[in-house]
Structure 1
Amino acid sequence: MTQVLDSPREEVLKLYGNRLRLRVCGLYCEDDRLLMVRHRGIGPTDTFWCPPGGGAQFGETAPEALVREFAEETGLDIEAGELLFVNEFMQPPLHAMELFFSVQVTGGTLRQGIDPEMSLEGQIIQDVRLMAFDEIKSYPPEEVHALFRQCQTLDDVFRLRGYLPQP
């Protein structure tokens, strides 16, 4: 009997759907480009670009979770900087409180990483790269994180503070 594997979207919903999740996200800029991760299985077009990050685990501080997530997703070693803002990600059945930090790279090599919670066949990370702000803004709004709807420049991203209102 052959086992039917879940699609990436089904795996995302099974792991994260219908529950509130705490996520940590890092904003890293190099040469006027922001580090971004492309996921599948999220959003209406199955393409979703956002800064690196992921769920904090029980007993793990937010900065510790961010260091772990960056290593897993991007291959980079980082130090968490200032907490900049909080975003409430709501695309039912997904709901997450996201803490955005500035980060500094301290080592490692940029590469496309993995999401250890996902099966090998169900990996959702499709690309990891530094992107110019114009490139980020060239994607349809539903294919990039909502924070970019509130920004006209890369500098605006790093000026966001407090709780971001829902678009």
Structure 2
Amino acid sequence: MDKAREEVLKLYGNRLRLRVCGLYHEGDRLLMVRHRGIGPTDTFWCPPGGGAQFGESAPEALIREFEEETGLAIEVGDLLFVNEFMQPPLHAMELFFTVRATGGLLRQGIDPEMSLDGQIIEDVRLMTFEEIKSYPPEEVHALFAHCRSFDDIFRLRGYLHQ
């Protein structure tokens, strides 16, 4: 097992996590982060986000996670939907918000919980809906299975069933 997968399992495996995720777009492109150490192919694209810490509100956590992963300063908008991510041994309740950039420069960031040689963020990129859908379903977040167009992403509401 590679270092990244080991760290993911050690930090997040076999327990329920609360994650916050932000849907940021520029025109018809959505900001996505590619992780390794997750999923059957070791490639997993999803919107930026991460775990909320004890005593930290969901918007505060999302602002922190966005800066760490993407370099962008954001303002958190509306809560759109909740997704339950369940790929044992990983299990997370994910709150998806709209976000708006207020500053910073887009860059590939880091995950401070991971060691330097166990980093899981491999790429940060603005992607069209067609680019996202060109990946096999197991390599992109399950939210995209509920969407047939870019606009559908921002119409999702409630609890998403996998």
Bin for the TM-score computed over the shorter chain: over 0.9
Partner of 1:101: 97
Question: How far is the alpha carbon of 1:137 from its aligned partner?
Answer: 0.0
Q: Does 1:79 align with 2:75?
A: yes
Partner of 1:61: 57
Q: 2:131 aligned to 130, 135, 138, which one?
A: 135
Q: Matched residue pairs, number? A: 162
Partner of 1:38: 34
SS in 2 for 1:15: helix
Structure 2 residues without counterparts, runs of 5 or longer: none
Q: Quick one: distance in 2 between partners of 1:63 and 1:56?
A: 9
Q: Quick one: distance in 1 between partners of 2:27 and 2:96?
A: 20
SS in 2 for 1:159: coil
Question: How far is the alpha carbon of 1:7 from its aligned partner?
Answer: 1.2
Partner of 1:111: 107
1:52-85 per-residue CA deviation (whole Å, 9 max, x = no partner) reads: 0000000000000000000000000001000000
The TM-score, its normalising length taken from structure 2, stands at: 0.99
1:58-114 per-residue CA deviation (whole Å, 9 max, x = no partner) reads: 000000000000000000000100000000000000000000000000000000000
Structure 1 residues without counterparts, runs of 5 or longer: none
SS in 1 for 2:130: helix
Q: Which has the larger radius of gyration?
A: 1
Q: Does 1:16 align with 2:12?
A: yes
Q: Quick one: distance in 2 between partners of 1:22 and 1:31?
A: 29
Q: 1:124 aligned to 110, 120, 123, which one?
A: 120
The TM-score, its normalising length taken from structure 1, stands at: 0.96
Identity %: 84
Q: 2:44 aligned to 33, 41, 48, which one?
A: 48
Q: CA RMSD in A?
A: 1.0
Q: Quick one: distance in 2 between partners of 1:133 and 1:161?
A: 19
Q: Does 1:160 align with 2:153?
A: no
Q: Quick one: distance in 2 between partners of 1:104 and 1:7?
A: 34
- 4+ residue runs over 2 A deviation: none
